[in-house]
């Protein structure tokens, strides 16, 4: 099965083809409730159970591209093949293409820091296979096939996440991946949680009976010249942001019920007069989570913005996420390389510059902050006896003798402050490098890594709010009613006892964050051997 993405379609990589791409912008909420967009089939195609290969047409395209490259190299200088790299393009290349490739990869293996998550590294390699299979890079078919065989077998390179400028693509992490594919470095050997700890790449290849990739100069350059590390991280972050927004809508609906708040702020007709599809969808999710609300006459006519304006905030995030999906999916479908073969020409340009990813990532950061900010403000409302329907301060039944959720709120506020620190646009931080050859760099991977850390903190805030909503429900009605437990609230009923006395809550908040993210996230983020109870199609329940 080929797995090629062309014009928005996914051909054969996973069952179901291009289904789930959603609807046109402005056409109203998508049929699947807004839980799929153009990123969804990409994550499916790169998941642990997916496989990829070349069909005959693609194989022929790669062969023809390779032949065209050989003819062009004989008649004109070609960057990275007959000439050196970066500003060293004025010098001739090593005549032996394999030694030239080895030097390229060796000098770029300078990454530091923790590794990219295995699922992100797997997506990253798939994206390079996708770019190279288009036939514009002149890669050796044997190289492509050997790399795909490793990917299909679950061999995933352990790649340091730090060190990329995302200018000539994500050179540094991709060089580490290329060296691992050649048998030098470490890999995860297995699928999802079955992979265990990283092992030497040479050992993993030998155990699976697979050949190391033998990189030639052009194939190696085509692999490392690409935005695939930052793009892979952005795709997985995208999934987590959408899940965060839906979780926020779900807990907002729960709070509306528990507080007996007025529901007219979530009316469909109110959203219709403004017209944004995200607003409509967020309102729908909040209404669904709230169910039948018994209004408390003691509540104010208009709730604080953290409740009343939740559809507008979450709707704006959902609309931005949809727009980002188009940019990210377009990047995934294209050839991010240099030079590029087009027809009978070899074009030296800048298709590896990750500006599209960088700007999408920075908008992701804004979206993460908006949802985390909303959740932190809702938490502040819930623990405030002036606004929580007369429940005790910090939701402790023993004020003074107990402090309840005071510590949880402190930590959530700290997480929000750290999110704001990390959200500074990475594209506004670069310095010229590479003898001023790379004098405009986007820093897309730095930004994507920052967003991942922001998301971790946002989910801790969300876990804190869910714990607070559960404690609110245990304190009994105050002009409201206690709704029947539904997913994921059953888990809280079974695992989070009421705060009769103070206890350490760090583990409960972390567990709540993980449970809620898995409830609202796509299975692409869940290891293959993890089964979540109550699945409905592709969405965990």
Which residues are catalytic, by number?
79
Report the DSSP beta bridge partners of residue 536.
Answer: 539
- Calculate Rg over the CA atoms of the chain: 25
Rounded to an integer, what distance in angstroms lies between the CA atom of residue 247 and that of residue 487?
11
Rounded to an integer, what distance in angstroms lies between the CA atom of residue 34 and that of residue 20?
10
CA distances to 82, 119, 159 from 184, in Å:
26, 20, 12
Rounded to an integer, what distance in angstroms lies between the CA atom of residue 105 and that of residue 108?
5
CA 194 to chain centre: 21
- Cβ atoms of 298 and 327 closer than 8 Å: no
Locate tokens 């209004």: which residue? Answer: 295
Length of the chain in residues, anyone? Answer: 541
Rounded to an integer, what distance in angstroms lies between the CA atom of residue 129 and that of residue 65?
15
In the DSSP assignment, the letter for residue 264 is: G
Report the DSSP beta bridge partners of residue 167.
Answer: 169
Rounded to an integer, what distance in angstroms lies between the CA atom of residue 272 and that of residue 280?
7
Rounded to an integer, what distance in angstroms lies between the CA atom of residue 280 and that of residue 34?
10
Burial of residue 95, with CB atoms counted within 10 A of its CB: 0-12 exposed, 13-18 middle, 19 or more buried: exposed
CA distances to 249, 482, 508, 529 from 491, in Å:
18, 16, 11, 20
Report the DSSP beta bridge partners of residue 340.
Answer: 347
Q: Which two tokens stand for residue 309?
A: 């304006």
CA distances to 352, 445, 481 from 222, in Å:
10, 18, 61
Phi-psi region of 112 (alpha: psi -120 to 50; beta: other; left: phi over 0): beta
Locate tokens 């995934």: which residue? Answer: 332
Choose among 137, 300, 158, 306: nearest CA to 224.
Answer: 137
Q: Which two tokens stand for residue 446?
A: 């730095």
């Amino acid at each position: 099965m080929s797995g090629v993405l062309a014009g928005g379609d996914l051909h054969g990589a996973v069952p179901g083809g291009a289904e789930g791409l959603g609807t046109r912008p402005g056409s109203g909420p998508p049929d699947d409730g807004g839980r799929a967009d153009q990123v969804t089939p990409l994550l499916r195609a790169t998941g642990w159970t997916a496989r990829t290969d070349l069909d005959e047409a693609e194989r022929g395209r790669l062969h023809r591209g390779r032949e065209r490259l050989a003819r062009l190299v004989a008649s004109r200088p070609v960057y990275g093949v007959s000439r050196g790299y970066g500003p060293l393009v004025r010098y001739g290349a090593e005549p032996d293409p394999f030694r030239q490739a080895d030097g390229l990869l060796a000098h770029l293996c300078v990454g530091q820091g923790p590794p990219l998550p295995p699922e992100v590294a797997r997506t990253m390699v798939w994206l390079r296979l996708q770019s190279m299979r288009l036939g514009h890079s002149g890669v050796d078919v044997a190289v492509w096939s050997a790399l795909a065989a490793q990917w299909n077998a679950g061999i995933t390179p352990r790649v340091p996440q730090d060190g990329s400028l995302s200018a000539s693509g994500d050179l540094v992490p991709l060089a580490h991946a290329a060296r691992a594919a050649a048998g030098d470095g470490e890999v995860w050997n297995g699928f999802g949680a079955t992979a265990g700890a990283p092992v030497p790449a040479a050992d993993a290849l030998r155990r699976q009976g697979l050949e190391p990739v033998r990189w030639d100069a052009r194939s190696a350059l085509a692999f490392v010249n690409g935005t695939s590390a930052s793009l892979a991280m952005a795709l997985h972050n995208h999934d987590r942001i959408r899940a965060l927004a839906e979780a926020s809508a779900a807990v907002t609906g729960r709070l509306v019920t528990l507080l007996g708040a007025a529901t007219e702020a979530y009316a469909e007709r109110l959203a219709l007069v403004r017209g944004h599809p995200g607003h409509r969808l967020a309102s729908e999710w909040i209404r669904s989570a709230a169910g039948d609300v018994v209004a408390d006459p003691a509540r104010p006519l208009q709730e604080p913005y953290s409740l009343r304006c939740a559809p507008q905030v979450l709707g704006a995030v959902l609309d931005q996420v949809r727009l980002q999906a188009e940019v990210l999916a377009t990047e995934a479908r294209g050839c991010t390389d240099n030079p590029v073969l087009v027809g009978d020409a070899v074009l030296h340009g800048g298709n590896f510059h990750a500006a599209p990813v960088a700007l999408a990532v920075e908008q992701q950061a804004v979206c993460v902050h908006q949802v985390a900010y909303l959740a932190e403000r809702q938490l502040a409302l819930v623990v405030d006896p002036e606004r929580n329907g007369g429940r005790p301060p910090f939701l402790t039944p023993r004020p003074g003798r107990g402090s309840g959720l005071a510590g949880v709120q402190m930590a959530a506020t700290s997480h929000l402050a750290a999110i704001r620190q990390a959200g500074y646009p990475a594209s506004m931080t670069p310095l010229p490098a590479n003898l001023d050859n790379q004098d405009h760099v986007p820093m897309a991977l730095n930004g994507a890594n920052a967003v991942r850390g922001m998301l971790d903190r946002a989910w801790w805030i969300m876990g804190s709010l869910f714990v607070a909503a559960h404690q609110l429900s245990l304190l009994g009605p105050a002009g409201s009613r206690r709704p029947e437990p539904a997913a994921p609230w059953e888990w809280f009923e079974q695992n989070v006892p009421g705060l009769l006395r103070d206890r350490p809550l760090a583990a409960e908040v972390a567990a709540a964050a993980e449970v809620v993210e898995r409830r609202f996230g796509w299975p692409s983020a869940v290891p293959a051997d993890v089964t979540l109870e109550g699945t409905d199609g592709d969405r965990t329940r």
